[in-house]
Amino acid sequence: MTPAATTFHTPRAAHRHPTSEPPLVRRLLIGTALTFLLLFLVLPLVFVFTQAFAKGLGFYFKTLADPNAWSAIKLTLLAAGIAVPLNCVFGVCAAWVIAKFDFRGKNVLLTLIDLPFSVSPVISGLIFVLVFGAQGWLGLYLNADHPRFPWLANWLNEHNFHIIFAVPGIVLATIFVTFPFVARELIPLMQAQGRTEEEAARVLGASGWQTFWRVTLPNIKWGLLYGVILCNARAMGEFGAVAVVSGRIRGQTNTMPLHIEALYDDYNFAGAFAVASLLAFLALLTLGLKTWVEYKNAAHNETDLSA
């Protein structure tokens, strides 16, 4: 939108738009931003993949085919496979009750849902040790040395069922750290959409479930997917919380991030980066999907407005 400059051949600076910066400042700012991002984001990303293949493709695939690596991959998938659907159901429930009804204590509920985000990962693991660990709250009931419920302690012992330093603890810690993701995406979205469409469906005779499946779900599907993507990325990548509850038994209670730490501590750097490259690839996939969903969501909103 600078028509004057071409017709009168005056110096460009004189006709610069009053609310834009001189070209030199512009280039300087773009240069600063890109240099900073290159140094802090691009370089580490490139580094992960170069180090992963530093010892060649053979070593790369040998590292990933190792039974301990394979068990870590399976455990990570299992923990995310349980945590993400559970938090998804919770997110939809919480968003439904907060967006579609008026009740006292709503703001308290909103703050409590966000609570896990403000807790340090190490403390997120610690709290489950305090509840289920040998010296813990429930540990007093479950511990075989002095059980309050001997039958329960015996049953758990016979079935070799442990929570802390075992898989259930890892799943619980993963659920805790990814708790707010889906709810947090859906609540503002459903609040903005209001309740008129659902009310219309109900008045026209749809049942509660029909209303949810045919009216609400199609409206929130992109927001739901967005929350699921972010929730999954965190679930698969969580380190601090899982490190506290896992006990780090190789081949049994090591998730992928913990396996990376174990390899790194063994000075097997190429191996650590080989496993890390899988998670870095997951991160790139997450960013790609996220951008795609944002684009789809914008398109969805635009057709809504024009209709």
Partner 1 sequence: MSFHLFRTKKSSVLPGFRLTLGFTLFYLGLIVLIPLAAVFWKTSTLTWPEFWHTITMPTALASYRLTFGASLCAASVNVVFGLIVAWVLVRYDFFGKKIVDALVDLPFALPTAVAGITLASLYGQNGWIGQLLTPLGIKVANTQLGIFIALTFIGLPFIVRTVQPVLEDLEPELEEAAASLGANRWQVFWRVILPMLTPALLTGFALAFARALGEYGSVIFIAGNIPMKTQITPVIIMAELDMFDYAKATAIAVVMLVTSFVLLLTINVLQWWTNRYNTTNLA
> Which residues between 75 and 114 bind partner 1 (CB under 8 A)?
86, 89-90, 93-94, 96-97, 100-105, 109, 111-114
Whole-angstrom Cα distance, residue 259 to residue 23? 50
Interacting stretch for partner 1, rule CB under 8 A, among 17-25, 60-68, 142-150, 160-168?
17-25
Q: Does 146 bind partner 1 (CB under 8 A)?
A: no
- Residue 269 CA to its chain's centroid (Å): 26
Smallest separation, CB 279 to partner 1 (Å) = 5
- Contacting residues for 109 by C-beta, under 8 A, at least 6 apart: 94, 98
Instruction: Answer yes or no whether residue 243 interacts with partner 1 by CB under 8 A.
Output: yes
In eight-state DSSP terms, residue 38 is I
Q: Which residue type sits at 26?
A: R
Which of 4, 10, 15, 42 contacts partner 1 by CB under 8 A? 42
DSSP of 104-129, one letter per residue? TTHHHHHHHHHGGGGS-HHHHHHHHH
What is the C-alpha separation between 123 and 36, in angstroms, rounded? 32
Q: Closer CB to partner 1, residue 154 or residue 217? A: 217
Measured from the CB atom, the residue of 151 and 282 that comes closer to partner 1 is 282
Positions 269 through 288 that interact with partner 1 (CB under 8 A):
269, 272-273, 276, 279-280, 283-284, 286-288
Residues 155-214 binding partner 1 (CB under 8 A) are 172, 175-176, 179, 195, 198-199, 202-203, 208, 211-212
Token pair for residue 156?
A: 């758990």
